[in-house]
Every structure is written in structure tokens, then in C-alpha cells.
Amino acid sequence: MWQQQSNTGALAGCRVVDLSRVLGGPFCTQILGDHGADVLKLEPPTGDETRQWGPPFEDGLASYFVGVNRNKTGMTIDLAQAPGQEFLKSLLVDADILIENFKPGTLEKWGIGYETLKELFPKLVHCRISGFGADGPLGGMPGYDACAQAMCGLMSVNGDAQGEATRVGLPVVDMVTGLNAALAILLAMQERSRSGLGQFLDITLFDCAISLLHPHAANFFGNGKVPGRSGNAHPNISPYETVETKKGPLFLAIGNDRQFQTLLKVLGAESLSGDPRFTTNQDRLKNRPALHALLVDLLSAHEATTISETLLKAGVPAAAVLNVQQILEHPHTQHRKMVLKQGKYRGLASPIKLSRTPATLRKLPPGFKEN
């Protein structure tokens, strides 16, 4: 079963048994697979449900599934039955990592929980992704990205000030959970190189969602005020927001007074440099509405894409608001090789750039029951 796919990646020779479905776990194991790990994706008899999360579909596979399941070998297994459990154990003899996102207690019910597997495979790094963990007031409850966004404060600070709390338009909690799982696995593997022992990694959507609350949690710890929604405006910095131009919205991300002075110079508004309302960031925060109105007027003669490049070259952080197609076709996206292409396959490349052992595309997402 184990056939090394690459000897060039940073994780070449690392063997991963992936029992996870949907997003957090598969996102994690795609990261590992991109960097050389041999990932065996074991799906239940009904398959990973995201295979049907479409349209769109690509050769019968939902694009959602395709996006997070490359560089894996696929099989199906029924872990609720004894033959499936024994087959899993046979795989774990040679495995380094097991990752799963079953409801806590499920593997224990089947006799293949961490405590059992630890005795059989003491070097195994066992990573579980769950909604809330196994214990505590919410222990064992099901967890989903949008619910985590709602419960953990992300929605409360996202959206227009006068509008309703809004979900972030991508599954940010699932993906950051996958990132944290990958980080935890690498930490555990590093520690294993010293101790010779594996360990259990308890990664939850709940914890990971809360970890994203900067700077809102820090501000609350500092002033005791419950943060609210401010649209695209930053709660601590000004101007750090979207401003309409003659053609398209422009995001300004002014982080210091020097950048603000340069902004005024580029826009031909040096006369405002001495205005006491805008001298420091604190002044600009106090007078944000007036500053915003002035910036709208100054930018009304410019197009977002053009002025953003001018500002960037001058050292002022600014960006036109692009859609998905525009950024995927952007020249710098191509230069950074952030779009993978192989035959009909298109996917987002790894953002982790290693000079000697780069990420590679070795295997396309597996078809259902391909082995």
C-alpha cells in the first residue's frame, strides 16, 4: 500500500493515514501531501460528502472536493466493522501520522481510540480535529465553520456598522484549523525525533476561531469595551478602509504617519499635512468621517487599479478590490506560481515556498473507490 511518491519534498518518507472529511482535515493533509508526505485518504463507504458539494463538477468530482484533496491516494473503508478496524491497524504499523475528525468518542466506541492505538503504536502522532473537543460544557457537540464564526465572535465584528453580523465569505475557521493541525503535527514530529514517542493532538474549531480575534480581544482586554462592526474600517488605524474612486473601490492601509504624508503628496494634497485633525493616527481616528470624505474627493479623479500601483510604488499600502477571476489572472499571481495546472486540473498552489524542497503536484485528487 505504501509507495513513496517523492523523495524530494520536505516530508518525503512521512506516511499519513487521513480519515478526515470535508475541509479542516483534508486542507491539513493536502499541505502535508504537497510537501512530500505519502497521504492515504480513507473514506467511509458513502465517501467524503464534499464529493457531492456542487455544481460545479469536474469529471464527476465537485470542485469543492478537488480543491483540497490532491497529492493523496484514495480508498474506502468501513471502520464500524471489524475488518475495517483491523485493516486500519495494519496500515498504522508503518504510519507516522493519523488524522481524523470523527465526533469525539466514535473511534473509542469502535475500539480504535487514541489510548488503544497508543499502546499498539507508541510512535504514532494522532491528530483529532473536532468542533469543541471531547469534554467541557460543549464537549462532543458537532462543529461547523459558520457556527464557529457565529459563536466565537467573528461575525459580531464583521459587517457594516449599521448592518447585521455577517459571516466571513470563506470558511476561514475550517482552514485556519487545518493550518493549526498541520503546525501541530510538525511540532509533534519534531518532538518525536527527540523522545521517540508520538502524542495526541487536540485541535478544535472553537479554539481556532477564538484565536483569530486579534485585535478585538486585545482591545477588549485593554479597555473593557465590547467591539462592534466597523465595515471595512480598522478599529485601531486610520485611514485603513475602502474608499470609492472614479472606477472601483480602493483599500488604503496606512500604518504610520510617514505613509499618510506620502499619500497626501501623491494625491496632491500636501496642504492637509499640517491639519491638526490628521497629524497622528489618534487624531485621524477621532476625525475619521471628515478624513474619509476628503479622501473620497481626492480619489474621485482616479481609477482604483491605476492609483493603487502608483501608491504602492511610493511606499503606500493600497490595493484595488479585485474579484476572484481578476486575482487568479493577475500577473503577480502567475509570477508567484500560485495557480497549479496539469491537464484539466487547476488548483491553488502551496504558499509555502522552500528553496531546496518545494511543494510539488504529484497526484490528482482521487476518484471515488479508485483502489
The C-alpha cell that represents 140 in the structure block:
462532543
**In b/e form, how buried is each residue of 231-256, taking b as 16+ CB within 10 angstroms?**
eebbbebbbbbbbebeebebbbebee
Examine the residue annotation and report whether 160 is marked as an active-site residue of this protein. no
Rounded to whole angstroms, how far apart are CA atoms 298 and 230?
22
Rounded to whole angstroms, how far apart are CA atoms 294 and 151?
38
Partners of 79 in the beta sheet? Answer: none
Rounded to whole angstroms, how far apart are CA atoms 43 and 261?
57
Q: Which DSSP state fits 201?
A: E
Rounded to whole angstroms, how far apart are CA atoms 253 and 264?
14
Let me know: does 321 contact 242? Beta carbons within 8 Å: yes
Rounded to whole angstroms, how far apart are CA atoms 115 and 263?
60
Q: Which DSSP state fits 144?
A: -
Cis peptide before 249 (omega within 30 of 0): no
Residue with grid cell 460544557, as numbered in its chain:
137
- Please give the radius of gyration of the chain, using alpha carbons only, rounded to the nearest integer: 24
Strands 72-76 and 61-62, by their bridges, are unpaired
At position 117, the amino acid (one-letter code) is L
Rounded to whole angstroms, how far apart are CA atoms 57 and 256?
46
Residue with grid cell 514530529, as numbered in its chain:
189
> Catalytic residue among 135, 174, 207, 257, which?
174
Rounded to whole angstroms, how far apart are CA atoms 257 and 239?
10
Rounded to whole angstroms, how far apart are CA atoms 176 and 275?
42
Partners of 202 in the beta sheet? Answer: 128
Question: Distance from CA of residue 55 to its chain's centroid?
Answer: 22
Catalytic site residues?
A: 174
